[in-house]
Amino acid sequence: MNIEEFREYCLSKKDVTECFPFDDVTLVFKVKGKMFALTNTDEEFSVNLKCDPEKAIELREHFSSVQPGYHMDKKHWNTIIPDTSLTDELLKKWTDDSYELVVKKLPKSAKKPL
């Protein structure tokens, strides 16, 4: 998966927006105004995704390409640097998990349309 494919996948999810709130190169994907994914547009493709803390540790132990979230809360975020050991399907699943974690925390009124 490359950055454009990742971008298209994120934007295909319900009520997702993209923006550059930090600088001109950090692309952020939000659902209902809450971040669930970030990527850098000017370096090697990598992605920051929200993750359940216990699962985050497990993924880091099993995949060398999964590291504690760069410039993020390392308890709740992982940085994924895709390599040949990761399939597109696995990255999509982790993106789905991140999206769902954020949706779960939304107020009931915001969840209804999702």
For 12-69, how does the pLDDT look when each residue is reduced to its tens digit (9 = 90+)? 999 999 999 999 999 999 999 999 999 999 888 999 999 999 999 999 999 999 999 8
Name the β-bridge partners of 38.
Answer: 28, 48
At residue 38, the pLDDT reads: 96
- Kindly indicate whether the domain formed by 3-105 is annotated with CATH number 3.90.1150.30: yes
> pTM, whole model, 2 decimals?
0.91
Q: Please identify which residue in the block is written with the tokens 């099993």.
A: 62
CB 86 within 8 A of CB 80: yes
Distance, CA of 87 to CA of 59 (rounded, Å) = 14
Confidence of residue 108 (pLDDT cuts 50, 70, 90): confident
Token digits for 41? 């547009």
SS3 label, residue 101: helix
Residue 97: strand, helix, or coil: helix
Instruction: Show me where the domains of the chain are located.
Output: 3-105
Give the three-class secondary structure for 111. helix
